[in-house]
A and B are shown apart, each in its own frame.
Chain A
Amino acid sequence: MNDEDLSPHVDEIMEAVGDKVSREEVAAELKKYITVFRLNLQTAKRTLVKRFGGESEAYPTPNQRKLATVGPGEMSVNFVGKLLSVNEKEIDSRGGRKKICYGLIGDETAVVPYTAWETENLKLEKGSVISVRNAYTTEYQSKVQLNFGSRTGIKKDESTRIDVGEIPSMPAKPTKIGDIRADSGRVEITGRILSVEKKIIAGSKGPREIFSGIIADETGRIGFTCWGDARLKQDDVVKISSAGVRSWKGIPQLSFDEKADITRIKGGYPTAKELSGAKLTEVSKLSESGGAADVTVAGMILQVKEGSGLIFRCPECKRALQKGTCRIHGKVEGIADLRIKAVLDDGTGALSVVMNREITESLLEMSIDECIEKAREVMDYDVIRNLIDEKLTAKQVEVTGNVTVDEYGPMMIVREARQADLDVKEKAEKLLLELEESE
């Protein structure tokens, strides 16, 4: 390697170390490292930056990759990306509780979920561009996930501009609503607006009007947010030629603004009633999609879990009390509440379901006051859980709500629940006919 080839590398080192040393000295040292000590170029450069007192973190990272090329199970990935979201979460780890950060990071080629496991002294800001060295990747639900651990170096990169808003540079794909996943990128969809409502939110430039609602086609329903007034009305059938897919707790949602190309379509589309006729989703599909909004699942309740029934909540933080004591606020006068936590199974998978007081009351056919009275009568609050168990275990039910997925599988916050119709005589006749015809 001659001096000329090394010249750009010398430039890079100079940039990192500033003018603490002369260019000649750097060039000579680099040449020596490579020709005499036979270090590879990367190691040589990094060693020199360090030796001359430069910030090795500032040193342009070698082998920067585009996120679309990153696969699962890689031990060292370097890239520059824009933080699209930054969320914090506390987890239990061996060393006690600790804070981690997670969200989405993107470049021009892809958007990938990340988790930062070491958050001490780490400042991640939404919208900022960071240069990352030695991240590692894992696979979660057959998608690549970036992890920032103790070996990972993260540096704000103010010189690079990434316009993730324009990714993927490929055009929005025509997609059926039922096929939209959290990582679908930009999609073109056609559907009927089942509901829409105006909300005022606090924006950085003062209050802002947004319109959110639910849009449906024959394959499914999805929540949307329109960042401005596109004059969307309930029952309109529209084609949105480019909407971004965002993920809220793994549940995909559509996001677009009033300038999006929205075409109204007249006639010949299933009615709102036909579209909201609950279409059943299999649990296995939910586990694989990573979450879904407003889906209906039918299955058998196999187990009513501990913590169901009559509970008392802390008036401050609404946490369920354990023996009249809140984990945070100590001994408090609890507020009575009813809930059901249960396992529903449809043969393809198990779904954890959580039902609130209203739903519990309607399934039990008892009001909360009646429950309290009943519990006082027998001096045992568990009696309500037993009632729920009797009423629900081994019963076939249909539930509708939003589903999130974590390492324990899918979980639904139930919005509507009803006992299923068990009459299968007609269905059996129909299936029998189909079978006989196919023979």
Chain B
Amino acid sequence: MNIREPAWRIFSKEFNSATLDLSSGEEKAPSYVVTPLGAKVNRVVVVGVMTEVENIGTKESPMMRARVADPSGSYYLSAGQFQPDTMTVLRELKPPEFVAVVGKARVYAPDENIRLLSIRPETVRRCDGKLRDFWVYETCVSTLSRLDLMSEVMKMDPPSVDEIRKLGYPRLLAEGAMLAASHYKGTDFESYRELVVTALREIASNRIGEIKEIDVEESVVATDVEEVEVSSLEELDISEDEEKTVIQIIKSLDKNGKGAEVEAVVAAAQKKKIDKDRLDEIFSLLMGKGELFEPVLGRLKLA
């Protein structure tokens, strides 16, 4: 069979968490990485913000590296001279830009301690924010369906591909779920659900002006809803403030237009009681929205 591998829609967090590789060893046979939610990935399509692109090779034999941010973090891209079309597009791109990337999953693991998952792009195209939101939505739907599948698998005793197929899942998903169930232990499924909710919130209320409108509506509803929800609303407000604070910090530290040093931003944020972990979250949120990027490693710049 010579059937083309599907291009998965998955968030970078799920992709980068994959620690199970399947390669048949045979030449030309497809190889896969299996994610904790059971995606058996050979190919992906990602629509996000290209935040960095650089040539880490030489002029004669270039090797392009790039980062594409989604709501959960970043995908790493690497393209060499065997992807000439892609190289041309990558050279023309000026981050930050919305891009759509189709490519194959690659694992770089030179020794036990280093493991880097990346995409070897087959196609890279400029696109717009609308397509990015569309991709985020589709990826939310696909992530939720894998979460449902995994919870079904966890209920089975013992799980089997046939049992999963009986629930109406296609073969590829059933096989991936089985592999994930036996390889990964203690996956924090809840964190993926939260990621989906955060991503959906962001695309459901894309512009700042609209966020305010929704807040008003929600707080009216919130009067007769339990307290838990009210507090989660407050938390959301705070994070918006934090976002603004971080933007302010970066703006003030970026004196020459080459970007603010990450370390300086971290130090300044700490004074405002934003710790490193929280800060990282805010960075990736801003990068995901295309508002922030890293022109070179170690420097942050507002778009």
Contact = CB atoms under 8 A, between A and B. Distances in A.
B3 interface: yes
Interface string A410-421: 000000000010
Given A284-B172, A429-B204, A435-B197, A350 B137 contact: no
B63 to A, nearest CB: 23
Contacts of B2: 407-409
Given A347-B8, A424-B203, A284 B170 contact: yes
A424 B100 contact: no
Contacts of A345: 6-7, 45
Interface stretch (B123-131, B256-264, B284-292, B293-301): B123-131
B100 to A, nearest CB: 4
B230 interface: no
B140 interface: yes
A429 B6 CA distance: 28
B206 A425 contact: yes
Contact of A394 (B8, B100, B193, B200): B100
Interface string B175-189: 000000000000000
Contacts of A350: 3-7
Interface residues of B, number: 41
Chain A binding surface SS class: mixed
A343 B43 CA distance: 13
B203 A425 contact: yes
Nearest to B228: A439
Contacts of B127: 394
Given A408-B3, A422-B134, A432 B197 contact: yes
B171 interface: yes
Contact of B123 (A288, A393, A427): A393
Interface residues of A, number: 35
Nearest to B44: A347
B200 A396 contact: no
B272 to A, nearest CB: 30
A199 B249 CA distance: 75
A32 B134 CA distance: 80
B229 to A, nearest CB: 8
Contact of A348 (B6, B102, B122, B140): B6
Interface string B97-136: 0001010000000000000000000110101001101101
Interface in A345-378: 345-350
B120 to A, nearest CB: 14
Contacts of A435: 144, 193, 196-197, 200
Contacts of A61: none
Given A343-B4, A350-B5, A435-B197, A302 B45 contact: yes
B29 interface: no
Interface of B: 1-9, 45, 47, 100, 102, 122-123, 125, 127, 130-131, 133-134, 136-138, 140-142, 144, 170-173, 193, 196-197, 200-201, 203-206
Given A422-B130, A424-B134, 16 more contacts: A282-B170, A284-B6, A302-B102, A345-B6, A347-B138, A350-B5, A394-B131, A396-B131, A407-B1, A407-B3, A409-B3, A420-B134, A422-B133, A424-B133, A428-B200, A431-B200
11 contacts: A282-B170, A302-B7, A302-B122, A349-B4, A350-B5, A394-B47, A394-B123, A409-B4, A423-B130, A425-B205, A428-B203
**What 3 A-B pairs are tightest by C-beta distance, nearest first?**
A284-B170, A394-B100, A424-B137
